[in-house]
């Protein structure tokens, strides 16, 4: 028979990212036979969650259970609330992980048990790390069938959307600074009546993610029910992914980052799981390939593409992949949330100073997607996409999306950028032959991006353009003198442009 005991909740003013670790006083731990690392069930208001025990003599008093601030914020537990606790059994999914470590193939039920326990925080980081390394590493032993099972389990353990028979999406593997084509594509394609519920990521190591950039213009944080209402109203959205869409993904991703591994298998599974959860039926995948892109070789690009096509076919998602060879520099002129948002608006509002490379890439991808969903005849997609920009229907659709998500449409030149700026000048005559993307991102982050949305770099000269000595190559923007001075100092040690 399960034995219960009771302790009162105490808020620990610490945010961990791993909320369900609880702290119990040593005397209570001795009384109930608990050791560090033991798992217990926490029950409150007909809800239950499993937690891992830590023990302290200072953080909490006898009779208290310390919960991190993450729990109070997300689960609405009240401080001093009496919680019912009991010992938890060892997760059954551990046996499935052990089986995978031995190189054996898992069935769907076994993979589902692992993914379900990840969502419920029943696995420790070590246990999850063993699973990731054994199954998803470059030399892991996951079969294609197991990858399909994992995608299905990741989608099935969260909310799944059903928006209609044709639901379009575009995804980029990433790795290039700027490249903020997604909002432009959504506006163009949705302006032709195609449903396009787009969820995007925030920056992890880059200067801005699509969600960071679009948040300059409107809110991007909504729950699943709100997303449904917005898409029903205007036919599209641009959101930071809801917490209950393939919820295991972020937890697995956190382990991948801790391991310092770039796992192509994990990346593909993650992307497809979210597309399945969002009810996508037609997908364009952009795969930039270059020395500083996320995918560095054509061989890897083809391997990734084959896995994408296998998985999307299993879920009846019609997919077309565009491999962009020799992706060597940024796309667009602004790098950083506000500067990228301004670029997007300049394209949609057809300003004379709009970044043409960003516009052309957006037209190619949007046109291809319009052809894929049969809104355009073969060979006419780019023409239709361009027409949507020129006649203003794409900007009209974008205004609808911004308003539906709680924002107010503005002119591109009213986007706030950093009040402090500093110009970097060319040291000689010549032609720009190379941009170091990683150094570019490093400087943007030193300026404060993406957290400081007004920070970043604006390019006045692009690859292959001729320059004269003392021409302005790019401008640094920020609102913080310390950030600006640090970036200027580092620019004396690293390079962004090469001129020959």
Same domain flag for 447 and 491: yes
Give me the mean pLDDT over the 237-246 stretch. Answer: 86
Q: Which residues constitute the domain of residue 44?
A: 4-87
Q: Which region among 133-142, 224-233, 270-279, 491-500 has the lowest average model confidence (pLDDT)?
A: 133-142
Provide the pLDDT for residue 87.
Answer: 85
* Domain stops at, among 72, 87, 102: 87
Whether residue 242 is contained in a domain is answered as no
Q: Which two tokens stand for residue 314?
A: 């299993």
Distance of CA 381 to the CA centre of its chain: 28
CATH code of 448's domain: 3.90.1170.30
Provide the pLDDT for residue 2.
Answer: 55
Same domain flag for 363 and 317: yes
Q: Which two tokens stand for residue 193?
A: 């009546």
CB-count burial class (<10 Å; 0-12, 13-18, 19+) for 18: middle
Asked if residue 1 has pLDDT above 50, the reply is: no
DSSP bridge pairs for 459 = 474
CATH code of 389's domain: 3.40.1030.10
Asked if residue 118 has pLDDT above 70, the reply is: yes
Provide the pLDDT for residue 260.
Answer: 62
Whether residue 244 is contained in a domain is answered as no
Are the beta carbons of 242 and 198 closer than 8 angstroms? Answer: no
Round to whole Å and give the CA distance between 136 and 152.
16
Whether residue 293 is contained in a domain is answered as yes
The single residue listed with the structure tokens 């402090």 is 420
DSSP bridge pairs for 67 = 11
Same domain flag for 190 and 334: yes
The single residue listed with the structure tokens 């957290």 is 451
* Domain stops at, among 352, 378, 404: 404
Are the beta carbons of 105 and 145 closer than 8 angstroms? Answer: yes
Same domain flag for 377 and 459: no
CATH code of 31's domain: 2.40.40.20
Asked if residue 93 has pLDDT above 80, the reply is: yes
Provide the pLDDT for residue 185.
Answer: 98
Distance of CA 99 to the CA centre of its chain: 31
Whether residue 248 is contained in a domain is answered as no
Running DSSP on this structure, what letter comes out for residue 96? H
Whether residue 187 is contained in a domain is answered as yes
The single residue listed with the structure tokens 């992914």 is 241
Give me the mean pLDDT over the 308-325 stretch. Answer: 95
Round to whole Å and give the CA distance between 135 and 381.
40
Closest alpha carbon to 176 in 363, 329, 365, 356: 329
Same domain flag for 426 and 396: no
Whether residue 159 is contained in a domain is answered as no
Same domain flag for 125 and 196: no
Same domain flag for 357 and 296: yes
**Residue environment code for 162-194, b if the CB has 16+ CB neighbours within 10 A, otherwise e:** ebeebbbbbbbbbbbbbbbbbbbbbbbbbbbeb
Structure confidence by residue, pLDDT tens digits, 135-183: 776 666 789 999 999 999 999 999 999 999 999 999 998 778 888 999 9
Give me the mean pLDDT over the 266-288 stretch. Answer: 94
Q: Which region among 40-49, 280-289, 462-471 has the lowest average model confidence (pLDDT)?
A: 40-49
Provide the pLDDT for residue 20.
Answer: 83
Q: How many domains does the chain have?
A: 4
Ranges 21-35, 162-176, 413-427, most confident: 413-427
Q: Which region among 200-204, 378-382, 469-473 has the lowest average model confidence (pLDDT)?
A: 200-204
Q: Which two tokens stand for residue 100?
A: 């995978």
Provide the pLDDT for residue 262.
Answer: 63
Provide the pLDDT for residue 121.
Answer: 78
Whether residue 291 is contained in a domain is answered as yes
The radius of gyration of the chain's CA atoms, rounded to the nearest angstrom, is 25
The single residue listed with the structure tokens 């079969």 is 143
Same domain flag for 210 and 282: yes
Structure confidence by residue, pLDDT tens digits, 94-109: 899 999 988 899 999 9
Report the 3 state secondary structure along 117-139.
HHHCCCCCHHHHHHHHHHHHCCC
Asked if residue 45 has pLDDT above 70, the reply is: yes
Same domain flag for 317 and 199: yes
Asked if residue 243 has pLDDT above 90, the reply is: no
Same domain flag for 208 and 293: yes
Same domain flag for 97 and 42: no
* Domain stops at, among 87, 106, 127: 87
Average pLDDT value over all residues in the chain? 91
Round to whole Å and give the CA distance between 20 and 42.
9
Same domain flag for 23 and 110: no
Closest alpha carbon to 36 in 48, 24, 49, 45: 24
Provide the pLDDT for residue 140.
Answer: 60
Asked if residue 258 has pLDDT above 90, the reply is: no
Structure confidence by residue, pLDDT tens digits, 181-216: 999 999 999 999 999 999 988 887 788 999 999 999
Whether residue 163 is contained in a domain is answered as no
Provide the pLDDT for residue 139.
Answer: 60
Asked if residue 341 has pLDDT above 50, the reply is: yes
Round to whole Å and give the CA distance between 473 and 190.
36
Structure confidence by residue, pLDDT tens digits, 286-299: 998 887 778 888 99
Give me the mean pLDDT over the 243-255 stretch. Answer: 85
Are the beta carbons of 144 and 235 closer than 8 angstroms? Answer: no
């Amino acid at each position: 028979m399960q034995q219960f005991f009771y302790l009162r909740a105490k808020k620990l003013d610490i945010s961990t990212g791993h909320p369900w670790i609880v702290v119990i006083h040593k005397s209570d731990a001795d009384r109930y036979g608990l050791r560090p690392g033991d798992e217990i069930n926490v029950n409150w208001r007909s809800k239950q969650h499993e937690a891992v025990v830590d023990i302290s003599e200072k953080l909490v008093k006898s009779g208290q259970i310390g919960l991190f601030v993450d729990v109070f914020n997300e689960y609405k537990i009240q401080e001093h609330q009496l919680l019912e606790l009991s010992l938890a059994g060892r997760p059954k999914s551990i046996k499935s992980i052990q089986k995978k470590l031995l190189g054996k193939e898992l069935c769907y039920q076994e993979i589902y048990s692992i993914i379900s326990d990840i969502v419920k925080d029943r696995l420790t980081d070590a246990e999850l790390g063993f699973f990731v390394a054994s199954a998803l590493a470059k030399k892991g032993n996951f079969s294609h069938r197991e990858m399909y099972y994992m995608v299905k389990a990741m989608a099935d353990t969260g909310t799944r959307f059903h928006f209609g028979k044709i639901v379009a999406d575009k995804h980029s593997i990433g790795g290039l600074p700027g490249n903020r084509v997604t909002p432009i594509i959504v506006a163009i394609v949705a302006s032709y009546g195609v449903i396009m519920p787009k969820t995007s990521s925030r920056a992890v190591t880059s200067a801005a993610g699509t969600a960071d950039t679009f948040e300059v213009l409107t809110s991007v944080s909504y729950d699943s029910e709100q997303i449904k209402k917005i898409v029903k109203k205007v036919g599209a959205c641009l959101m930071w992914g809801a917490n209950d869409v393939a919820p295991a993904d972020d937890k697995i991703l956190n382990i991948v980052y801790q391991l310092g591994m770039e796992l192509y298998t994990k990346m593909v599974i993650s992307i497809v799981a979210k597309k399945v959860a969002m009810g996508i039926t037609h997908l364009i995948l952009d795969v930039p390939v270059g020395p500083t892109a996320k995918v560095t070789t054509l061989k890897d690009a083809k391997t990734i593409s084959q896995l994408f096509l296998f998985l999307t076919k299993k879920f009846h998602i019609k997919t077309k992949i565009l491999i962009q060879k020799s992706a060597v520099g940024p796309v667009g002129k602004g790098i950083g949330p506000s500067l990228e948002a301004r670029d997007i608006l300049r394209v949609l509002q057809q300003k004379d100073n709009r970044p043409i490379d960003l516009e052309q890439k957006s037209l190619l991808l949007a046109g291809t997607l319009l052809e894929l969903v049969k809104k355009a005849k073969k060979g006419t997609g780019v023409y239709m996409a361009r027409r949507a920009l020129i006649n203003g229907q794409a900007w009209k659709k974008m205004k609808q999306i911004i308003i539906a998500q709680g924002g107010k449409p503005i002119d591109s030149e009213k986007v706030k950028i950093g009040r402090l700026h500093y110009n970097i000048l060319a040291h000689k005559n010549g032609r720009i032959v190379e941009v170091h993307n990683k150094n570019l991102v490093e400087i943007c982050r030193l300026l404060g991006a993406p957290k400081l949305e007004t920070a970043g770099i604006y390019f006045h000269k692009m690859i292959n353009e001729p320059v004269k000595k003392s021409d302005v190559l790019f401008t640094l923007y920020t609102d913080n003198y310390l950030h600006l001075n640090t970036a200027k100092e580092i620019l004396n040690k690293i390079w962004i442009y090469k001129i020959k």
